[in-house]
Every structure is written in structure tokens, then in C-alpha cells.
Amino acid sequence: MEKITGNKMTQLLNWAYDKAINVSAPGIKNVDQLAREYTNKYPDTDTAIKHYVHWQERKSGTTGVITGFGGFATMAATLPADLASVTYIQLKMVAVIATIRGYDPHDDEVRSLAFISFLGMSVVDFVKKSGIKATESLGVKVIKKVPQVVLNKINATVGSRFVTKFGEKGVVNLGKGIPVLGAAVGGGFDYASTARIAHKAKKNFPDLNVSPTLS
């Protein structure tokens, strides 16, 4: 049975995120292009995100389109191509949501929160389980206070948590423990996991254009 380590997963997360925010090609739009398209088309950010996520959940046949991206062959040599494709698709969705909400996807803090969202966790739960103490509202404001070396540790922790959450003894048993892979092999990806990740991303990236209300 093929196994995935936390270190390999962290490498995949960084590779997929970099491609999502930086690479555009015929028929493939990067994060900034997609965010601009949906914000120009719809009257508010919530509506734009709703339609984008709905499109993301419905589209199929996406896995495989990234095989021409630089570094894909290296990734595929150590990780299943379907896992690389699904990771790219879902991280790109998270980054688009963050961008629509007013965040810069190129910021290291946004990258870390995108990884947490991909894990299907709220930043509140992740911060608590990681032992980070915060006295104000959680999110980018807290992550921005964390030194880069700690951010790197957070990113590595996300990789390990993904593996241990779905596997045993620090590894993932492919075909058995990764819910997003079931549909991905057929050319699409798991609707439920995508919806869950989108939900967490919307919580982790509150709209910067909306003033918070006091309760």
C-alpha cells in the first residue's frame, strides 16, 4: 500500500498553492483572474463566492489538466496524480475565496490559513490544538503576529495533521482514507469535502470590506 508522509503532503500543499496563485494558461485562470471575474459579475462578495463555489462543486473532468505544470512530474513520482490534482483544485478554491474577501493570496499568512481551511478546520480550532495563545479575534490578525519560523511550522503541522487525520501511524492509506479521492479518480472530486472546505474558508477569511458589528 502506497504511503504519504506529512513532509510529502506539506511539499504538495506548497506546490499546489504556488501553481494556483501564479500560473495561468489557455483554459486555466489563476486566482486573481477568477476572483476579478466573479467580483465583477456579482453585486457583493457573498454572492460572488456562492456562485464560484457552486461552479467549483459542479465542474468535472478537471483532474489531469495540471499535468503540464512545472514540477508535476516530480510530484507525481512521489504522490498519486489524482491527489495532486484534487489538492490543487481545492486549494485554488480557498485562495479565490480569500482573494474575493480582500486578502492577498501571496501573503505567507494567507497561505497558512488556506492550508488550515484545506484541512477542513477553522482557524479557531487549529490555533487551540496547536497551542497558540490568542487574546483577540482569531484569523489573519493573529497569524500576522507569528514569526515566519512558526508559520513554517504551522504549514508543516497542517501536512502532518492531514495524514494522521485520515490514516494510521502518520500515513495515509490510499483508496481507503482520503474522502476527496473517491470521485477524483473519475475525473471530478468529492462534493461534500469541497463544500466543507469552502465553508471553513469563508469562516477563516471574514470579509475585509465589511465592518464588524458589536454584539
| pLDDT for the residue 24 | 74
Q: Assign 69 a pLDDT band (cuts: 50, 70, 90).
A: low
> Are 21 and 32 in contact, with CB atoms under 8 Å apart?
yes
Q: What is the pLDDT of residue 37?
A: 95
Q: Is the pLDDT of residue 30 over 70?
A: yes
Question: What integer best gives the mean pLDDT of the chain?
Answer: 73
- Rg over alpha carbons for the chain, rounded to the nearest Å, is 17
Q: Between the ranges 107-111, 146-150, 179-183, where is the mean pLDDT highest? A: 107-111
Q: What is the pLDDT of residue 57?
A: 73
132 pLDDT band, cuts 50/70/90, is low
Read off the pLDDT of each residue in 81-109 and give the average, rounded to a whole number: 87
Considering only 38-52, 89-103, 153-167, which range has the smallest mean pLDDT? Answer: 153-167
Return the SS3 of 5. coil
Cell numbers given for 203: 469562516
Alpha-carbon span 144 to 44, nearest angstrom: 27
Rounded to 5°, the CA angle 152-112-48 comes to 165
Report residue 66's pLDDT band, with 50, 70 and 90 as the boundaries: low
As beta bridge partners, residue 171 has 168
Residue 89 has pLDDT above 70, yes or no: yes
Whole-model pTM? 0.77
Strand partners, 50: none
pLDDT, residue 56, reads 80
pLDDT band at 38 (very low <50, low <70, confident <90, very high): very high
Is the model's pLDDT at 184 over the cut of 60?
no
